[in-house]
Chains A and B, each alone.
Chain A
Amino acid sequence: MTEVAERTRGLGRVPGPVAAAFLVMEGYWTWYRRNWRSSAVSSVVQPVLFLLALGFGFGSQVQPGPATGGLSYVLYLTPALLVATAVQIAAFECTYPVLGSFKWQAQYVAIAATPITARQIVAGQLTWVAVRMTSSLLVFVAVAAVLGAVTGPAILISLVVAVLGGMAIGAPVTAYSATLETEGPFAGLFRFVILPMSLLAGTFFPVDLLPVWIRPLAWLTPLWHGTELARGAAFGGLNPWAALGHLGYLAALFALGAALAVRFFRRRLAK
């Protein structure tokens, strides 16, 4: 079967995979340039407010002790807040916008009619979320440093860890969003998964303070692994094997999520 010759030189080409991912991202960037203000609120202003209210405000009621590793509460909190914020961003960007790109604004459906493949769309989406996370967290770290809530430059390693942690949530959530027909389940996801996780998985206080029977649940969450890693990077003192274990867990979760996302996207776009 030989391809039918083109009548004249048309304008459509098939882009390579990396180029394609960047093309998808370019689409998002165009949208973002017009709408950055609203995302700035949730991804930069919010964590700063948490830092102020809970880090400094609540922290004023806490004496540095064994629970906070001898540090003041604010310093103890910041690396964990990085991870928690990354998770928030991932949760937001990979739920409503993904479903919206299938259903309401249907960008994915439009893109799928071009030579770009489902795998490339997922790559573009995830890369975009990672870029968003990184840029927002950079601003947050700068503000935190100015406020005196940062122990040292090692916080930047925590930032990288935070992005990985966020993506370990973002990829599975993207896959999940691709299977939905209505946005109803999202409310449940935020209320019964994201929120309790953010409150109880070690961000604001050590998991050891939880009752014994709940601890394993916390250990299962990517947020806990990310938090341990981020704190270890910022303060030191983390067992290398433990660090490897946390890293591996996050990487595995991300890979699994991404693979599922590609499968579900492909299925949905082929309908």
Chain B
Amino acid sequence: MTETMAGIAAGRPAGGPQPRGLLLRVLPTGMYAGRARMLVERSLLVNRRTWLAVVSGFCEPLFYLVAMGVGFGRLAGDLVGPGGQPISYVAFVAPALLAASAMNGAVYDATFNIFFKIKYNRIYEAVLSTPLGPIDVAIGEIAWALLRGGLYAVGFFAVMLGMGLVTSPWALLVVPAALFIAFGFAAIGMACTTFMRSWQDFDLVQLALMPMFLFSTTFFPLTVYPPAIQFGVQCFPLYHGIEVMRALSTGQVDGSILGHLAYFLVMAAVGLVVSANRLGQLLLR
């Protein structure tokens, strides 16, 4: 205790060296301390204790997959997959559910959890009285949501492998693709959450996610829609995720995949910027 007290008297802080880095030079110094990973550490600690809830979270798409394979698959016949070859219904649906699981994993932590923290836990209040700024918080929380989405996707992918639904070495890129998708959803999810004021607003999240899940060619091909609606569906983020995953799982990869991935990059960028700004406004009043 005595050395630290002597340190106090000399006016030396006990913290570590100042962080360096490119981002630090670019972003406003009042808002960013370059320590976003500390928030990820915190989330890791919390989730280590509730690991069961985390693990069970990816069961949802899994149940859908089983139901698809067992039931839906027998009712429907083979479909026309990407690239024109027939594929079984299960092989058609599984990559879509994979994209959905990346989305699910990211969205919960980027919305529900964050809203709870902003409104009730006042945890960010505590975080912001340390050197961390709102940008650290935004990056840290989005990074965690992204990790979780990626985790779900990896688990789901393992099941797909086990069920023999993966037919191409391109599928190795599924994991980084899932991270992209999770990143986009996490960032936008958090941005939306910073605008919410009550639990009722969460129904809007449900209202956005549920139709997207049902209608973004998850369960049936785009051709089922009349051409006018097809265009609308192609604007959905999950549609792009599904296209990426289907292409990678079946090996039908062409240049359009980059376009799909770019969609998520833009989503992520917009979400990050909006989140950081809004958090600053909300918490540094």
Contacts and interface: CB of A to CB of B under 8 A. Distances in A.
The short answer to whether A and B are in direct contact, CB under 8 Å, is yes
Interface of A: 35, 37-38, 41-42, 45-46, 49-50, 52-54, 57-58, 60-63, 67-68, 73, 184, 187-188, 191-192, 195-196, 199-200, 204-206, 209-211
Given A35-B200, A53-B214, A200-B67, A188 B56 contact: yes
B53 interface: yes
Nearest to B79: A61
B32 to A, nearest CB: 35
Contacts of B57: 191
Contacts of B60: 191, 195
A53 B63 contact: no
A37 B200 contact: yes
Contact of B219 (A38, A45, A53): A53
**Secondary structure at chain A's binding surface: helix, strand, loop or mixed?**
helix
A195 to B, nearest CB: 6
A49 B211 contact: yes
A54 B59 contact: no
A42 B57 CA distance: 20
Contacts of A46: 210
Contact of B72 (A63, A196, A204, A211): A204
A62 B224 contact: no
Nearest to A41: B203
Contacts of B219: 53-54, 57-58
A210 B70 contact: yes
Contact of B71 (A49, A191, A196, A209): A209
A60 B71 contact: no
Contacts, number: 87
Q: How large is the interface on B (under 10, 10 to 19, 20 to 34, 35 or more residues)?
A: 20 to 34
B196 to A, nearest CB: 13
A35 B201 CA distance: 12
Contacts of A41: 203, 206-207
Nearest to B76: A61
A94 B87 CA distance: 42
B63 A196 contact: yes
A60 B203 contact: no
9 contacts: A46-B210, A49-B211, A53-B211, A58-B220, A61-B77, A204-B67, A205-B74, A209-B70, A209-B75
Contacts of B75: 62, 67-68, 73, 205, 209
Interface in B75-104: 75-77, 79, 89
B59 A192 contact: yes
A67 B211 CA distance: 27
Contacts of B214: 49-50, 52-54, 57
A216 to B, nearest CB: 16
Top 3 nearest A-B pairs (CB, nearest first) are A53-B214, A205-B71, A199-B67
A195 B59 CA distance: 10
B63 A199 contact: yes
Interface string B3-24: 0000000000000000000000
Interface in B168-221: 200, 203, 206-207, 210-211, 214-215, 219-220
Contacts of B215: 49, 52-53, 57
Nearest to B216: A53
A68 B72 CA distance: 12
Nearest to B225: A57
B207 A60 contact: no
A186 B186 CA distance: 24
A227 B112 CA distance: 33
Nearest to A210: B70
B64 interface: yes
Contacts of B89: 61
B203 A205 contact: no
Contacts of B203: 37-38, 41-42
Chain A CB count within 10 A is highest, among B71, B203, B220, for B71
Contacts of A192: 56, 59
Given A54-B219, A60-B224, A211 B210 contact: no
B63 A195 contact: yes
A184 B200 CA distance: 20
A199 B70 CA distance: 11
Nearest to B78: A61
A60 B63 contact: no
Contacts of A205: 71-72, 74-75
Contacts of B211: 49, 53
Contacts of A62: 75-76
A52 B77 CA distance: 20
B206 A60 contact: no
Given A49-B210, A67-B74, A200-B71, 4 more contacts: A49-B211, A62-B76, A184-B53, A205-B75
Given A57-B219, A210-B71, A191 B210 contact: no
Contacts of A45: 207
